[in-house]
Structure 1
Amino acid sequence: MAGGSTQQSLRKALGAIKDTTTLSLAKVNSEYKDLDIAVVKATNHVECPPKEKHVRALFLATSASRPRADVAYCINALARRIAKTHNWTVALKSLMVIHRILREGDPTFREELINYSHNRAHVLNLSNFKDDSNPNAWDYSAWVRTYALFLEERLECFRVLKYDVESERSTGHSQTRELDTIELLEQLPTLQQLLHRLMGCEPEGAAISNYVIQQALGLVFKESFKLYRAINDGIINLVDKFFEMQRHDALKALDIYKRASQQAERLSQFYEVCKGLDVARSFQFPTLEQPPQSFLSTMEDYVKDASRLAIVPRDVSGYNGERVVAGRIQKAPSSQSQDADDDRDASPVAGPLVKESLSPAPTFENNDLLGLIDASPDPSALEESNALALAIVPSGNMLHQT
């Protein structure tokens, strides 16, 4: 026990020496001295979250008002910091700084980070990172690697979508609600892969109770609210279009829907783990429920028969006398109102998309195919109410709670 304590003290002393040496070297660099100092101080060996004043200094250094060369230099400095360290604290704090600038900083940082990754080794590639200084450091290192994978996937998601889900303002629904079929089939799997990486950040072993890791995890599950809403709105849009799709597109859509259902269950479990952590005491989490199995069966039946059925225009297509609209079922008009409609539009009405023997698709009263029930807070509202639930204060290790 005494030996372990001595080793820990020695490591802290060595870390402090390294930081002091790096700061001394940074002060020699007259052109980017302040930026280098901010990077070193924000990512030092002290086992606590990055101090807010240093993070803010990096926000300023990477703002749109600064030359692109400054932004690129900041990224290069963080990349060097990550590449050279074998200490989990330094690596984690470097990732936290990158994550916070991506979330709260100017978009020029993200653009330069993507350019940097294309031209050189990826900054966030920590697949071989490990800190083997003690048994707990193994668990910490494993979490650092999964966190880096999430951030890397976050950049890839932006590359495909051309926008950041986190930057979407509260407008009632996400951009995915307005996409056409081709865009949906491309973007939803990308969003689902990002959610997969996000849920992979569930800590294990010693990482569960580590304060700094919990702070980083807070940043991660804050991102889950808008990400979930984007996927949910996209699925509603996808189902609205599903019964008009050609078979090859319907097969892709069915796989997306199945994965969405599985991820809703997995995300609910992830939230349950998060709720047990100290960092989550100030957060509100949505309640997730599984969509009805009957609708999945209806989709599977449609795919089986779609190759033999005509695809008809959306405004006249029927499904057993009903129409799928935004995940809900609209009953066919009565014969009297139908006659009136026929008088106004004499165009022939095509037959149903699926065989009459199939059961009608179920009604989703909550207009939420993934089960984010209306009684729960809206994900966008959760983002706003949780905005100050995780504030890293420079004076100590206490959470600033709202």
Structure 2
Amino acid sequence: MEIAIRKATRLEYRPPKQKHLQTLINLTYHKPALIDEILVALGRRGRENSWIIIYKVLIIVHTLIRQGNGDQTLSRLQKHADILSIHRLKEKASAYASIRNLHAYHDYLVDRLAAFGECDMDYIKTSSKEHTGRLRQLAVAQGLLRETTIVQRQIGFCLSCKFQMDIGDNAINFNAQRLVVEDLLALFQVVNEAVVNILEHYFTMSQMDAKLALEIYKRFAQQTQETMEYLDNARKIQHELGISIPTVNHAPLSLASALEEYLNDDGYEDRRQSYIHEKQQQKTRASTMGEGSFS
């Protein structure tokens, strides 16, 4: 473990080698009790006065979250959050862009850890495991709006990682950018499903919930445009990133005016109750027809 960490964080302009990362990834699955030791050892390396080593420590932590035993890593990381600290980082003129990238990357990882604590789950990992995600089915009363807002906050931090390249070898920057792009794709899938769910229940929400839902929808429309632009720029360097970036689909973006008009209607509550009553009648008729088909 110690050897893998030391070799993965060598003071050189190259990202951590996959064989060293794989050693650590395997340990998170086969010996999860060692995750604390791995994080503590990474924390020691992160105290080195070198932006390269600090950058690599963040990349390793991110990789363990993505490819390793992610929930266990995030859970243990909450106890060792200082590992993500970059307060010892010093500016260096020859690596100005990389250090700016590192700051934004750090902020994103800190928020990802915070989001895990707030939701008690990692939406990025679950989006790749489940055909239909949690937010596609979660009820408003169970926290749909709150958790969607948290996912949108994560997307905002992803989009803030506007990687710029220094003159020379940028392999470390490309490594971090690839991880962020992969996270962004997963988060966008999650929030897209959440918005579809929100739209399906918008007309039955209380006016207070509908107001928050409208804010979420407007933010979704804005972030969708920003995400499309972000991914378009990333596609230009797909070869360097080592990934193929797909075209993403999304919920309709042109409903804000209609939703806002409904929200501001003086007869909002009457229309809401009428809509709920109509939905209940439809459900009753469907149930009756279903029973009749078996009689």
Q: TM-score, normalised by structure 2?
A: 0.85
| 1:102–1:287 distance in 2 versus 1, CA, 3 Å | closer
Q: Are the equivalent residues in 2 in contact too, given 1:188–1:234 (CA < 8 A)?
A: yes
Q: Deviations over 1:222-255 (max 9, x none)?
A: 1122211110000000011111111111111110
Alpha-carbon distance between aligned partners in 1 of 2:181 and 2:53, rounded to the nearest angstrom: 22
Q: Which residue does 2:140 correspond to in 1?
A: 181
Report which stretch shifted further, 99-108 or 191-200: 99-108
Residue 370 of structure 1 corresponds to none
Q: Report if the CA contact (8 A) 1:124-1:149 is conserved.
A: no
Determine if contact 1:114/1:155 at 8 Å carries over to the other structure.
yes
| Aligned-partner Cα distance in 2 for 1:43–1:184 | 40
Contact 2:231 2:245 in 1 (8 A): no
Q: Does 1:50 align with 2:16?
A: yes
2:278 matched residue in structure 1: 317
Equivalent-residue separation in structure 1 for 2:170 and 2:136 (angstroms): 39
- 1:246–1:306 contact (8 Å) kept in structure 2: no
Name the CA shift for 1:177/1:308 in 2 (closer, same or farther; >3 Å). closer
Deviations 1:187-221 (A, max 9, x none): 01100010111111121252897122112211110
> Structure 2 matches for 1:96-135, cutoff 5 A?
96-106=59-69, 107-117=71-81, 122-126=82-86, 128=87, 130-133=89-92, 135=93
C-alpha change, 1:98 and 1:265, in structure 2 (3 Å) is same
Q: Report which of the two structures shows the higher radius of gyration computed on alpha carbons.
A: 1
Is it true that 1:251 corresponds to 2:215 in the alignment?
no
Distance 2:75 2:266 in 1: 43
2:55 corresponds to 1:89:
no
Residue in structure 2 matched with residue 17 of structure 1 by the alignment: none
Which residue identity does 1:242 align to in structure 2? Y
Provide the C-alpha distance between the structure 2 equivalents of 1:215 and 1:194, rounded to a whole number of angstroms.
19
The 1:61–1:36 alpha-carbon spacing in structure 2 relative to 1, beyond 3 Å, is same
TM-superposed CA distance for 1:274, in Å, is 0.7
When the two chains are superposed, the root-mean-square deviation of aligned CA atoms in Å is: 2.9
Partner of 2:110: 152
Provide the residue aligned with 1:165 in structure 2.
123
Task: Verify the 8 A CA contact 1:199 1:267 in the aligned structure 2.
Answer: yes
Cα 1:212–1:306 change in 2 (3 A) is farther
Query: Could you report, residue by residue, the CA deviation over 1:164-192 in whole angstroms, capped at 9, with x for unpaired residues?
Result: 22322454321110111131111011000
Q: In structure 2, how many angstroms separate the alpha carbons of the residues matched to 1:268 and 1:181? A: 28
Name the aligned partner's letter for residue 83 of structure 2: V
| 2-structure distance, mates of 1:109, 1:303 | 42
Partners of 1:281 and 1:103 lie apart in 2 by 16
Equivalents in 1 of 2:51, 2:230: separation in Å?
A: 24
TM-aligned CA distance change 1:206 to 1:116, over 3 Å:
same
User: Partner residue of 1:219?
Assistant: 179
Instruction: Give the 3-state SS of the residue equivalent to 1:201 in structure 2.
Output: coil
Which one has the bigger helix percentage? 2
Size of the aligned set, in residue pairs, is 282
Is 1:232 aligned with 2:198? Answer: no
CA change 1:93–1:205 in 2 (3 A) is: closer
Distance change in 2, residues 1:165/1:211 (3 Å):
same
Offset, 1:59 = 2.2
Change (3 A) 1:95 1:313: farther
Residues 291/308 of structure 1: CA separation in 2 closer, same or farther (3 Å cut): closer
* CA distance, structure 2, for counterparts of residue 55 and residue 205 of structure 1: 24
Unaligned runs of 5+ in 2: 290-295
Give the deviation of 1:53 after TM superposition.
2.0
TM-score (norm 1): 0.64
Return the alpha-carbon distance in structure 1 between the equivalents of residues 116 and 167 of structure 2.
29
CA distance in 1, matches of 2:261, 2:53: 53
Percent of counterpart pairs with the same letter? 22
CA contact (8 A) 1:131 1:138 kept: no
Query: Contact conserved, 2:192 with 2:251, CA < 8 A, in 1?
Result: no
Amino acid at match of 2:118: V
Q: What amino acid maps onto 2:132 in structure 1?
A: H
Q: Does the CA-based 8 Å contact 1:199-1:270 persist in structure 2?
A: yes
